[in-house]
Amino acid sequence: MNTNAAMLKSLGISQEVIDFGENVCKELEKRFKEIDETAEYNQLKVIKAMQEAKVSEACLLGTTGYGYNDIGREKLEEVYANIFHTEDALVRPQITCGTHALALALMSNLRPGDELLSPVGKPYDTLEEVIGIRPSKGSLAEYGITYSQVDLLEDGSFDYENIKKAINERTKLVTIQRSKGYQTRKTLSVTQIGELISFIKGIKPEIICMVDNCYGEFVERIEPTDVGADMVVGSLIKNPGGGLAPIGGYIVGKKECVENAAFRLTSPGLGKEVGASLGILPQFYQGLFLAPTVTASALKGAILAANLYERCGFAVLPNGSESRHDIIQSITFGNPEGVIAFCQGIQAAAPVDSYVTPEPWDMPGYDAQVIMAAGAFVSGSSIELSADGPIKPPYAVFFQGGLTWPHAKFGILKTVQNMVSRGLIDLKAIQ
Ligand SMILES: *Cc1c(COP(=O)(O)O)cnc(C)c1O
């Protein structure tokens, strides 16, 4: 029989796991409809931005060498600026990853003697070396740029009193990480980010407010630049690349901030004028075009995982019913076995490298062993169905992506199946 259940069974999912999944999916119909409506809005926003920039077939051709007069590159940057409602944008394959984009934004807009402030607690792991929280060659600390941090309060809200105290005459730039990254705090909504920016600008209007937007693009109808951010930064192998961009990062914002970043990326004096796009522009454009619906698929997957694992008694963040501001789902297993079983389940559901068994390893830039599951078309792409977890307490897995909803759903069922088969979940005790 050509039923979905028969196909799932042929891929190793038991009837009991299929039923568990279907029951939960039924309850999520209303939320999934809301996600589809947001995706429609953002799809139209992207089309409008492309139309307004008059994207033409010629934009899909690339340049070589210096890349002067690369109209495809220039139009793409105009499209990004239109989407984010900013003065300017830098969208380049020469920006190698999200960390690079963030490092570029920071290093180009800060000068010796300046201070960087994070009012939302510890930043993403790889930024610790960029800032110099963990010593590293070429860090901001080596250049005499100091760092100060104010943690979120117990309940996840901003510690306004201490943020105010932390702002001094040297505070030049504030970095706000939207997504929780590898932490078990809440992801910030764009509205919350706007409130924080207003507060900071109220104290010192000239502070540059930068948002690390990784995993947040197209989840809501507005972006941080719509609520006062001067600069927003992200990776193209996450949401805005739509799964097609094979490399790249973006910086959007005020003209001066973007120009500083461009002068640092290429060279003082050259800035945005150079940087051949080679043959990469079709994937950048088409990936951006697909990004709103791809992000919606990933969101549905995250919500399904939250609801399934919540029912199994695990702590999940966000929980099964709260609103979403990024595509990351964390599930806390409390032991390495759960993290490993989950990641191996995601890998086993992949279109590429499904027969490979991932194991924890010492990944550069991270302070504990990490297990990563990704059978991706683009290596390391985390808009594709992927999961990773540092092997350290509280033993939480961070799960994200899914280019299509059917794949996200299958991957999650595969993780549940893995947990059931290894005795880490007893579905009979739950249903
Ligand atoms: C992924 C991520 C980064 C770094 O991006 P890479 O492409 O992995 O270097 C930075 N901040 C956050 C919140 C992220 O999720």
Distance 100 CA to ligand 1 centre (A): 9
Residue 431 clears pLDDT 70, i.e. is over it: no
Q: What is the crossing angle of helices 405-421 and 15-27, to 10°?
A: 130
pLDDT of residue 5: 96
Using pLDDT thresholds of 50, 70 and 90, give the confidence band for residue 206. very high
Helices (H) then strands (E): counts for the chain:
13, 12
Measured from the Cβ of residue 45, the count of other Cβ atoms closer than 10 Å reads 18
**376/388 Cα distance (integer angstroms):** 13
Residue 203 clears pLDDT 80, i.e. is over it: yes
The pTM score is: 0.96
- Reduced to 3 states, what is the DSSP secondary structure of residue 257? helix
Distance 372 CA to ligand 1 centre (A): 14
pLDDT of residue 344: 97
Measured from the Cβ of residue 269, the count of other Cβ atoms closer than 10 Å reads 8
123 close to 212: Cβ distance less than 8 angstroms? yes
Residue 1 clears pLDDT 80, i.e. is over it: no
Using pLDDT thresholds of 50, 70 and 90, give the confidence band for residue 422. very high
236 close to 77: Cβ distance less than 8 angstroms? no
Distance 136 CA to ligand 1 centre (A): 18
Residue 365 clears pLDDT 70, i.e. is over it: no
- Mutate which of 102, 126, 233, 386 to test ligand 1's pocket (most atoms within 8 Å of Cβ)? 126
Q: What percent of the chain has pLDDT over 90?
A: 94
Measured from the Cβ of residue 138, the count of other Cβ atoms closer than 10 Å reads 12
Strand-pairing partners, residue 400, are 386
SS3 of 6-33: the string is: HHHHHCCCCHHHHHHHHHHHHHCHHHHH
**Model pLDDT for residues 377-402, shown as the tens digit of each residue:** 999 999 999 999 989 999 999 999 99
Strand-pairing partners, residue 208, are 173
Residues with CB under 6 A from ligand 1: 97-99, 102, 124, 126, 177, 179, 181, 212, 214-215, 235
**Model pLDDT for residues 340-360, shown as the tens digit of each residue:** 999 999 999 999 999 999 999
99 close to 125: Cβ distance less than 8 angstroms? no
- Mutate which of 214, 370, 378, 383 to test ligand 1's pocket (most atoms within 8 Å of Cβ)? 214
pLDDT of residue 162: 98
Using pLDDT thresholds of 50, 70 and 90, give the confidence band for residue 125. confident
Tell me what the mean pLDDT of segment 8-30 comes to. Answer: 97
Distance 146 CA to ligand 1 centre (A): 22
Mean confidence (pLDDT) of the chain: 96
- Closest residue by Cα to atom 12, ligand 1, is 214
